Structure 1
Amino acid sequence: MRVALNLVYLVPGETGGMEVYARELIPRLAALPGLELVCLVNREAAADGDAPWGNAVPLEVVPVHARNRVEWVRGEQQHVPRIAAAASADLIHSLASTAPLRSAMKRITTIHDLNYKLVPDAHFGLRALGMRVLVPASARRSDRILVDAESTKRDLGSLLGTPLGKIDVAPLGVTPSPPVTPTPEAELRARLELGEGEVLLTVSAKRPHKNLLRLLEAVALLESKPTVVLPGYPTPHEAELRERAAALGVRAVFPAWVSAEDLEGLYALATAFVFPSLAEGFGLPVLEAMARGVPVACSDRSSLPEVAGDAAILFDPFDPRAIADALRRIPGEAERLREAGRAQAARFTWERCAELTHAAYVRTLAA
């Protein structure tokens, strides 16, 4: 079986969870017997010399710059089918929710979420328009669909009318801690101006559907006043978050980017990890915090109850008082949450994700 992996979307360092998905899944797929892979990458990704495409798996360059959304779509719709055919692929697997709409070969698409419908402000500009047009069309035209969670499978059935028998669930895995030395706590506290008190960590894009405004409102209700650390690349929404934190008197720190060493140091010093998102296709940050033994409180919406199980304190993300109540419970349940979180995270592996993905390939070609 020869599979062309459509990675035309992937700009290294700028694609978030879908980049993690590709980087972790590809080497596990490459290790499976009887499966040959070729990665179809844009010009930005082709220049990354430390990636599984081009190292673990051969690559073919799609002649577009994917930072330009129009070029991304053109590359996916025009060039990917042509290059996959020239590579003698049996199947095209598109990893980022959209796919070529016309091709003579079989197609399987991973649709990570339907946030463009569930939380329309999750995407901006041309990307928002593209998702509204291309995700439903890709769901119709693909021979099979892969999703990360049962909740997305249900959403596809109810919102797009996708036959449930066409959909396979392949939960993601936990990304191992990188082999780095965490930045010492004293250094992080001084450099990021965290003070000496408790620290709440949340790792997510600064976008409205991540619900960080309500998190700040919840922290303002607490008797203790922890520092909230919100790392992530800047977005237009960040200015609103900063203004709201100042108005509420909440101490919040917004590092734009943190190194692997700094992130591991933040996990180590954090009192808790909080994830108030309104909609998630999976919620990898929850599992990554659990794997590191950080007590977790998270939203009770979309896929997050599936991912967290009973290893997190769940809350209604629309209610700042409910978020605050969950945060108040953490000190008394911290040891249980640490133990349960590590056990829950251990259930999710990239090897299992690869096996389920391969099984979906077999179903696609057999149909």
Structure 2
Amino acid sequence: MGGGETYARGLLRGLQSVKGVAATAYVSRAAAGFSGGIPEVVCTEVRGGASTGGRIRTLVTGLIKRRSLVAHMRGNDVFHVPFAVNLPIPPRTMPTVQTLCDVQHRDLPHLFSRVERLYRSFFYERAAKKADAIVTISHFAKQKIVEHLGISPEKVFTAHLAVDVDQFVPNLGTRDDFIFYPARGWAHKNHAKLFDAMRLLKTERPELRLVLTGGGLEHLTDVPGNVDVKGLVPFAELLDLYRRAKCLVFPSLYEGFGLPPLEAMASGCPVAASTAGSLPEVCGDAAIMFDPHSPRAIADAITEAIARTAELQTKGLEQVQQFTWEKCANSHEDAYRFAVRQHGTARS
């Protein structure tokens, strides 16, 4: 369950409450049953799959089978893919909305290979410039899309993500002596600086350990002795870690949104978060913010967040209430209606 999947699932749930939208989801065979209460069409032409090979196969199949896939979708007013790659390529006659969560490859190009930058340029940027409307997930991401791609601000709609508070039950009692960081092992997640901070805390707060979850963590190097690397864990275990952790630390160098801080707040877990990207927008005053480039600042923020647990728990539970899937879906409705108007104007 990555951030993209969480967004797609939450959006479908939110759209059920939007009276002005009748949504139908089109999914691969692997994703059958994904859509909850939204009418679903399984496109048997596409097998799907979460592995790299599965994604490449899906991309190729989507291009080859475009005509039959588009035929499934006839009769709709708007074509929207809640992922950055429009697959299949939509017909020119149908208004199109693209979700573009961020343009990190433009802001941090040194973290991407030349092939990755070319891929994003072709599949992300080209689709965004052709779309009638764009949905993104934070005001920060909107600003960067407008700045880097030269797209009119009126065409870009911010739809903040949300947390299902029925799943994340707060624990306001005793918490265990570990710090939690759920994130993939990507370079922008900044594990190296966090490890430096843990070396400082090993002397200052020897009882504290750091627990890591997420994919790709097996590639991390120079892991300190007070760090436990769990890798991918079941969702139930993730919920338990949020409820037991002394503090969530989130030292990311770049986020289009950043769900874990909100998930932690909903679980009653104090948050220490980076000042990078959209995180100040998401966290408000409900977290201790720090410079992600400074191990000293990270260590101090963790210590302060733990010391201010009761205060941050109260503020965090209030902050979470500002983000709902219903609000997210309403912003999408605005984008859909804009796309219909924009498309009609362009054709006329």
Fold match (TM-score > 0.5): yes
Distance 1:81 1:354 in 2: 29
**Equivalent position of 1:291 in the other structure:** 266
Secondary structure of the 1:353 match is helix
Partner of 2:314: 339
Q: CA deviation at 1:26?
A: 0.5
Q: Distance in 1 between matches of 2:273 and 2:195?
A: 14
> Residue 266 of structure 1: CA displacement?
1.3
Structure 2: distance between partners of 1:284 and 1:74: 31
State the TM-score, normalized to the length of structure 1.
0.82
Amino acid at match of 1:178: Q
Alignment of 1:270-309 (within 5 A): 270-309=245-284
2:205 to 224, 242, 250: 224
Point out which structure has higher relative CO (alpha carbons under 8 A, 6+ apart).
2
Q: Which residue of structure 1 lines up, in the alignment, with residue 8 of structure 2?
A: 22
When residues 81 and 332 of structure 1 are mapped into structure 2, their CA distance, relative to the original with a 3 A threshold, is farther
Secondary structure of residue in 2 paired with 1:37:
coil
Counterpart residue number, 2:153: 164
| Aligned-pair CA distance for 1:303 | 0.6
**Aligned partners of 1:254 and 1:128: how far apart in 2?**
30
CA distance in 2 between partners of 1:63 and 1:128 (Å) = 29
Partner of 2:345: none
Separation in structure 2 between the aligned mates of residue 121 and residue 56 of structure 1, nearest angstrom: 40
Aligned residues: 330
CA distance in 2, matches of 1:179, 1:326: 24
1:174 is displaced (CA, Å) by 1.1
Provide TM-score, normalisation by structure 2. 0.86
Cα distance in 2 for residues equivalent to 1:217 and 1:181:
30
Q: 2:163 matched to which residue of 1?
A: 174
CA deviation after TM superposition for structure 1 residue 202, in Å: 0.8
C-alpha distance 137-342 of structure 1, shift in aligned 2 (>3 A) = same
SS in 2 for 1:255: strand
Which residue, out of 103, 106, 111, partners 2:91? 103
Matched, 1:204 2:183: yes
Gaps of 5+ in 1: 1-12, 186-195
- Would the aligned equivalents of 2:287 and 2:305 in 1 still touch at CA under 8 Å? no
Stretch moving more, 34-43 or 149-158: 34-43
Matched, 1:59 2:34: no
Equivalent residue, structure 1, for 2:228: 253
CA contact (8 A) 2:80 2:96 kept: yes
Instruction: Label 1:26 to 1:124 Cα distance change in 2 as closer, same or farther (>3 A).
Output: farther
Equivalents in 2 of 1:128, 1:175: separation in Å?
34
What corresponds to 2:60 in structure 1? 74
What are structure 2's unaligned runs of at least 5 residues?
343-348
- How far the C-alpha of 1:176 sits from its partner, in A, is 2.9
Per-residue CA deviation, residues 245-283 of structure 1 (Å, 9 max, x unaligned), is 24xxx4111112222332222122211001111111100
**Partner of 1:294: helix, strand, or coil?**
coil
Quote the RMSD (CA, aligned, Å): 2.6
Deviation string, structure 1 residues 187-242 (Cα, Å, up to 9, x no partner): xxxxxxxxx97200011112111111111111111201311100112x2x533x3x
**Local SS of the residue matching 2:213:** coil
Structure 2 counterpart of 1:168, one-letter code: F
The alignment-based identity, stated in percent, is 32
Amino acid at match of 2:222: R
- 2:193 counterpart SS class: helix
- Greater mean alpha carbon deviation, residues 37-46 or residues 68-77: 68-77
Relative distance call for 1:277 and 1:143 in structure 2 (3 A) is: same
Report the Cα distance in structure 1 between the residues aligned to 2:68 and 2:111, rounded to whole angstroms.
Answer: 32
Maintained 8 Å contact 2:270/2:305? yes
CA distance in 2, matches of 1:80, 1:307: 38
1:35 counterpart residue number: 21
Give the residue type in structure 2 aligned to 1:224: R
